[in-house]
Structures are given as structure tokens and as C-alpha cells.
Amino acid sequence: MVNTGDTVPGRDRPRIDGHTLLAGVIGWPVAHSRSPLMHNWWLAQCGVNGAYVPLPVAPDQFDTAVRGLQAAGFRGVNVTIPHKESAYRIVDRLHRSAQRSGSVNTLVFSSDGRIEGYSTDGDGFVANVEAHGVAVKGGSALLLGAGGAARAIAASLLDRGVRVVVANRTRARADALAASLAGVEAIDWAQAGSALPGCTMLVNTTSIGMEGAAQVQFPFDLAQADPELVVCDIVYVPRQTALLKWAAANGLRTVDGLGMLIHQAGLGFEKWFGVAPGIGPDVEALLDADLHRPAAGGAG
């Protein structure tokens, strides 16, 4: 049985002392984030003297907060809404993942005093899909949405030889994404239905299907999809979105978004704490149980 409280069965509470390694997540708001639950569970499991804390930082205080955390000895931070553009600007070194995606969700404070910026969303998405037994190599993907997550995922798919088509309700945003990544084709939202046949992967990166979000009809009929199509949704509240239920009803393979959250987080954890966390059913069960608590909030 997974414990979703402050302790891990069989282990004492972590000791906080002068040797504790520190990291956290910066957002505004940030109270809804599941990242502290996940990272602190990993720290206990790995036997690392560390702590991961939520850091509510107003937009006009972002630079000051990051410099202060760096000066205070933090190893780094995750960055969530609304700070990702600010994070991109503040870094001294951009990893290729951040350059390709045009966004930063992970800051690492290096020993030479520089701030390194990474984007773990794209590789986290691919790792999650592969963990579900889907080979991500070649083929064609239809991405719905053209925000930061879509660009990160598109970049990682392109790096693996996947042809990428992007449809967004605002065509200009799809055009901008295509202009920033060679190999991406932008189409109108209404054209998604004609682009779907022949695709090997469909990826929803929009908020459609998210708990509390406005529900919009998808512009295609899954009954016309290739029977080998894999349908992915990066939304994980709820885990089984309307799109995934629709896909399953049509006999298609599906991949929900919770694993992407876990895999992208694991990449940052290893950079800060020097050890790869266990990414498997235990941590998934931990988060899944928390998502079903009455007070559960939005995305992590």
C-alpha cells in the first residue's frame, strides 16, 4: 500500500541539516503541484539527504528569487506556469533540449556559478510512451496544440525520425511552431481529420479534456484512424480523458499523461541529486492515489 502522507513506510522522516541538498519548484501559484510529493518520496527511497519544496514566487520577483536560491545553495529548481519564458531568459547555458524546444522547465545551478537550462518535457514524453511498449522511431505524428509542451514533444519526435504535423485552433501559433522547428508541418485545426489517416501517433497537448477546462470537440473521427494508431494525452487530471476513452472504444492503444510527469521529473532529479530515481509502478501509484483525494487540484 502506497503512503501519500509525509512519510514513507519503513523509513524515518528525513533529517534536515547543514548537508541537506535542496531543490524545489517555482510557480505562481504552486500549491497544486505534485512535484514535492514525488521528489521527496524519491529522496527517501534513494536514501538521499535532500529536500524538495514548493516555492510560490510572483512573476515580478522571479529573477530575484532564482538568484537568491542559487546563493543559498540550492541545487536547482523546476519551473512551472507562469515562469517558463523568464527561465529561458535567465540561464547562462542552454542545453540542446531547451534550445530545440524554446522553453526551460528545469534549472541547474552548476558548481561554476552558472545557471543551466533544460527542457525535460519532450524526452519525458518519449520515455513514457516507450515505457508503454511503443517504439518511437519513424512514422508520423499529429500533434494537437502549439504551446511549449507541443514544441518540446515535436523536437524530441523529430530527433527520432518522426514526421510531425501540428494543428492548433489558432493557426498563427501552429505556423510559429513550424517556423521554429524544421520538419514540422502546420495545418488548420479543421484539417486534422484529413491528416489523421496514415498517422502512427496522435498527441493531445491542449487542455481539452482536463478537469475544469472548457470542453471542445476534436475535429476528426477516430473511427477513420489507422488501427495501429497510438493515442496519447499529456493531460492527467483525469487520467482517462474523453479522448483516451474514445480511442479505447475504437480499439486503439492509449497512453495517459501521468507517466510523462514522472519521467520528465526523473531527469531533473538525477541532475540535482546525482542518482536516478526509481520510475515504476510505486511512484505512479503514489501520484494516482493523490489525484483521487478530494482536495486534488490541477496539473503538477
Task: Report strand pairing: 140-144 vs 115-118.
Answer: unpaired
93-150 pLDDT, tens per residue?
Answer: 999 999 998 889 999 999 999 999 999 999 999 999 999 999 999 999 999 999 889 9
Sorting pLDDT into bands at 50, 70 and 90, what band is 7?
A: very low
226-256 pLDDT, tens per residue?
Answer: 999 999 999 998 999 999 999 999 999 999 9
HSE-up (13 A, CA, CB side) for residue 274: 8
E strand segments, 212-294: 230-233, 253-255
Q: State the Cα–Cα distance between residues 66 and 262, nearest whole angstrom.
A: 24
Q: For residues 239 and 286, state if they share a domain.
A: no
- Binding site annotation covers 253? no
Q: Give me the count of residues in the chain.
A: 300
Is residue 299 domain-resident?
Answer: no
Is residue 188 domain-resident?
Answer: yes
- Binding site annotation covers 168? yes
- Binding site annotation covers 15? no
Q: Which residues are catalytic?
A: 84
Count of domains for the chain: 2
Q: Are 234 and 205 in contact (CB under 8 A)?
A: yes
Q: For residues 141 and 205, state if they share a domain.
A: yes
146-167 pLDDT, tens per residue?
Answer: 988 999 999 999 999 999 999 9
> Domain containing 235 — which CATH number?
3.40.50.720
Q: For residues 216 and 282, state if they share a domain.
A: no
Q: For residues 91 and 164, state if they share a domain.
A: no
> Which residue type does 223 have?
A
Q: Mean pLDDT, the chain, as a whole number?
A: 91
Is residue 153 domain-resident?
Answer: yes
**Per-residue DSSP letter, 212:** T
Sorting pLDDT into bands at 50, 70 and 90, what band is 260?
A: very high
Domain of 107 in residue numbering reads as 21-119+259-291
Q: State the Cα–Cα distance between residues 237 and 281, nearest whole angstrom.
A: 18
Q: For residues 235 and 145, state if they share a domain.
A: yes
Q: For residues 149 and 89, state if they share a domain.
A: no
Is residue 4 domain-resident?
Answer: no
67-84 pLDDT, tens per residue?
Answer: 999 999 999 999 998 898
Residue-level pLDDT at 296: 36
Is residue 16 domain-resident?
Answer: no
Q: For residues 154 and 244, state if they share a domain.
A: yes
- Report pTM: 0.89
Residue 181 has pLDDT above 90, yes or no: yes
Q: For residues 131 and 251, state if they share a domain.
A: yes
- Binding site annotation covers 105? yes
Is residue 15 domain-resident?
Answer: no
